[in-house]
Amino acid sequence: GNSVTQMEGPVTLSEEAFLTINCTYTATGYPSLFWYVQYPGEGLQLLLKATKADDKGSNKGFEATYRKETTSFHLEKGSVQVSDSAVYFCALFYNQGGKLIFGQGTELSVKP
Amino acid sequence: NAGVTQTPKFQVLKTGQSMTLQCAQDMNHNSMYWYRQDPGMGLRLIYYSASEGTTDKGEVPNGYNVSRLNKREFSLRLESAAPSQTSVYFCASSEKGARGYEQYFGPGTRLTVT
């Protein structure tokens, strides 16, 4: 079936460090891929998305590229800030089900 | 625009009590969803409503019922709460984008069942 696997957290980085959060997926067909972010005490917000192979989604300095050959959608940021501390969720949407499938989330903590 | 609103924000129930979680959206979206979030398990879909007048089970529907009252409102009811239903509940809504749905989430309801 369709599924999403993320690297386990928590991930702890110093400010200005490079961030990678790995995400791989299993799906039939051509899903759309998303990264959502959840700040403490809040609901999820869409961070970026990609709807077809080789698309790059970007927002707020974060980037992720839809790699069909490796079934991956890794999230990257060149220089993290304390304000990026949050839980990040990778998700896929497949048309047949009409639903989002979420990974388990990766907690990021950025220290000054 | 308030987006997606949920009430209450926090609730404590005793085992066997019932309650209804309310959700409303002002974005004129057709689809609405209820998720629960548990540590280490991401978000799991409880029920969803693709359009007004329709509801369907998600991944973990047991112990819950839903009502799509109108296009704006989608409520989740726990008829007889159990400790296993202690969780954070999120409502979301969406409208189809160019390819795939972008979902907009409410702030969540933190429920504890003792």
Contacts of B62 (CB under 8 A, 6+ apart): none
Average pLDDT of span B65-94 = 96
CB contact under 8 A, A43 and B40: no
User: Would the pLDDT of B99 be above 60?
Assistant: no
Q: Quote the minimal CA–CA distance from B51 to chain A in Å.
A: 12
Residue A37 carries which side chain, given as an amino acid letter? V
CB contact under 8 A, B43 and A51: no
Q: Out of B6-20, B51-65, B68-82, B84-98, pick the least confident.
A: B84-98
Residue B45 touches partner A, C-beta closer than 8 Å: yes
Backbone phi, then psi, for A82, in 5-degree steps?
-55, -35
The rounded mean pLDDT for chain B is 92
CB-CB neighbours of B29 under 10 Å: 20
What pLDDT was estimated at residue B95?
82
Q: Quote the minimal CA–CA distance from A9 to chain B in Å.
A: 9
Tokens of B89: 């509940």
Decide which of A42 and B96 is more confident.
A42
Low-confidence ranges of chain A (pLDDT < 70): 95-98
What pLDDT was estimated at residue A9?
85
User: Which residue is it, tokens 């080789």?
Assistant: A54
